[in-house]
């Protein structure tokens, strides 16, 4: 059943890719003749509008429009009531770029982006290799390691902040196995807090990476490793020369999702550290800065300007990554229409 389904999908992707390539070449050479290309009638146009209209309206109204609004409000000093009148030009942006707490938040975000990939990537590849071996009960293990990903950030944050208190379960467990000297103030110590955060992030999101990598590995034809075994390759040689290179596209796409997620990190930090502690503990992010300085302080104009900065940074990074890293793998989503 499921293999049948996979087969169907593979055909489709090929089909879609073929079409895309055709569309791409059509830009600079005359489009190849297409059968049944007679233009579409008004009835079809109506169908297209009726079917896709509601989704487009919702999407433009609640996703695109707010982003444009942010760009507009970002030029005002505004408390969120009535029509903004106090136009301040680029003042908000100047303030953001000069504010040392924004610099700190930006640095934390940068660190989280890099550490997420460096910590979760190797761990997830290792775990996926482990689970890709002959193993009874593989499917139940797959379900169980995915559990942290499914639980809400609020629950994860609440549970971990209880466990990581100085007199909490983690320090207690360390003491009971004779490692009491390792107990720490995990959450408040500014040297440690960001690493604590990385640990929690790894715990919560590594399951997602493992599942992706496992799916990627299981798409690699088994004949390849069998052929390598016939040629006398060891297990590790096979993984290094065959599995990892063929897994690279999956890893690159995972890294992209991880980067975007890390740039926008909000929930866990805000729940565990709260708006005041996050900056002193050294775990504030651009998003927590935006909420603290914007909405919580009642400075909506400023908050919108921060949103624009956050959006611009994410967008530039997404575009650069698409262009230079993902280009080889797929026609990227952002470049699809061009």
Partner 1 sequence: MAKPGKDSGWGNPIVYVAALLLIGLMLGPVLYIILGGFRTNSQITVDPAGLPHPWEFGNYTDVLTSETFWRQVGNSTIVAVATTVGVVVLGVMASYVLARYRFRGRGAMYALFAAGLMFPVTVAITPLYILVKNLGLVNTLPGVILPQIAFGLPTTIIILVPFLQAIPKEIEEAAAIDRCSRLGFFWRMVLPLSVPGLITVGILAFIGSWNSYLLPLFILNNQDTFTLPLGVQAFASQYSVDTAKVLAFTSLSMIPALVFFSLFERRIVGGLTGAVKG
Report the nearest approach of partner 1 to the CB of residue 317 (Å). 10
The whole-angstrom separation of Cα 315 and Cα 333 is: 13
Report the nearest approach of partner 1 to the CB of residue 34 (Å). 8
Strand partners, 87: 76
Name the DSSP class of 87.
Answer: B
Question: Binder to partner 1 among 18, 25, 31, 54 (CB under 8 A)?
Answer: 54
Nearer to partner 1, 282 or 294 (CB): 294
Site for partner 1 in 8-37 (CB under 8 A): 8-9, 11-13, 15-16, 23, 37
Nearer to partner 1, 157 or 282 (CB): 157
Question: Binder to partner 1 among 203, 224, 241, 277 (CB under 8 A)?
Answer: 203
Three-state DSSP class for 76? strand
Cα–Cα distances (Å) from 25 to 7, 22, 319, in that order, read 28, 5, 22
Asked whether the beta carbons of 124 and 206 are under 8 A apart, the reply is: yes
Inter-helix orientation angle 244-263/193-218, to 10°? 140
Q: Is 334 in the site for partner 1 (CB under 8 A)?
A: yes
Task: For the beta carbon of residue 244, count every other beta carbon within 10 angstroms.
Answer: 14
Site pattern 236..275 for partner 1 (x: CB under 8 A): --------------x--xx--x--xx--x-xx---x----
Nearer to partner 1, 58 or 94 (CB): 58
Report the nearest approach of partner 1 to the CB of residue 291 (Å). 8
Task: For the beta carbon of residue 18, count every other beta carbon within 10 angstroms.
Answer: 10
Stretch that binds partner 1, among 61-69, 104-112, 180-188, 240-248 (CB under 8 A): 61-69
Cα–Cα distances (Å) from 31 to 37, 222, 333, in that order, read 12, 40, 22
Site for partner 1 in 273-292 (CB under 8 A): 287, 290-291
Site pattern 101..140 for partner 1 (x: CB under 8 A): --------------------------x--xx-xxxx--x-
Structure tokens at 37: 């290309």
Question: Binder to partner 1 among 114, 150, 182, 248 (CB under 8 A)?
Answer: 150
Q: How many residues bind partner 1 (CB under 8 A)?
A: 109
- Of 335, 331, 329, 334, give the one whose Cα is nearest residue 253: 329
- Of 321, 292, 290, 323, give the one whose Cα is nearest residue 307: 290
Stretch that binds partner 1, among 51-59, 90-98, 185-193, 276-284 (CB under 8 A): 51-59
Beta-carbon contacts of 127 under 8 Å, excluding residues fewer than 6 positions away, are: 145, 206, 210
Report the nearest approach of partner 1 to the CB of residue 194 (Å). 19
Q: Is 176 in the site for partner 1 (CB under 8 A)?
A: yes
The whole-angstrom separation of Cα 244 and Cα 99 is: 43
Nearer to partner 1, 190 or 221 (CB): 221
Site for partner 1 in 292-321 (CB under 8 A): 294-295, 300, 303-304, 306-307, 310-311, 314-315, 318
Report the nearest approach of partner 1 to the CB of residue 117 (Å). 16
The whole-angstrom separation of Cα 190 and Cα 182 is: 16
């Amino acid at each position: 059943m499921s293999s049948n389904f996979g087969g169907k999908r593979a055909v489709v992707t090929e089909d879609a890719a073929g079409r895309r390539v055709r569309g791409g070449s059509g830009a600079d050479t005359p489009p190849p003749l297409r059968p049944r290309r007679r233009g579409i009638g008004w009835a079809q146009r109506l169908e297209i509008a009726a079917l896709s209209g509601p989704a487009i309206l919702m999407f433009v109204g609640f996703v695109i429009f707010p982003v444009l609004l942010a760009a507009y409000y970002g030029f005002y000093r505004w408390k969120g009531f009535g029509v903004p009148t106090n136009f301040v030009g680029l003042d908000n942006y100047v303030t953001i770029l000069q504010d040392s707490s924004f610099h700190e938040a930006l640095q934390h975000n940068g660190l989280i982006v890099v550490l997420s990939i460096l910590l979760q990537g190797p761990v997830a590849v290792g775990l996926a290799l482990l689970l890709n071996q002959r193993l009874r009960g593989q499917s139940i293990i797959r379900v169980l390691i995915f559990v942290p990903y499914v639980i809400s950030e609020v629950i994860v944050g609440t549970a971990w902040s209880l466990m990581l208190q100085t007199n909490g379960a983690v320090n207690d467990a360390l003491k009971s196995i004779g490692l009491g000297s390792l107990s720490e103030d995990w959450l408040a110590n500014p040297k440690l807090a960001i690493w604590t955060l990385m640990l929690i992030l790894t715990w919560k999101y590594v399951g997602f990476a493992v599942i992706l990598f496992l799916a990627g590995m299981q798409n690699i034809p088994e004949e390849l490793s069998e052929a390598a075994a016939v040629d006398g390759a060891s297990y590790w040689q096979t993984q290094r020369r065959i599995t990892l290179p063929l897994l690279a596209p999956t890893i690159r796409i995972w890294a992209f999702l991880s980067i975007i997620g890390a740039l926008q990190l909000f929930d866990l930090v805000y729940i565990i550290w709260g708006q005041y502690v996050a900056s002193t503990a050294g775990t504030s992010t651009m998003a927590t800065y935006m909420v603290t300085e914007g909405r919580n302080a009642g400075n909506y104009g400023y908050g919108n300007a921060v949103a624009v900065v956050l959006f611009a940074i994410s967008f530039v990074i997404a575009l650069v990554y698409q262009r230079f890293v993902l280009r080889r793998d797929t026609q990227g989503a952002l470049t699809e229409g061009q």
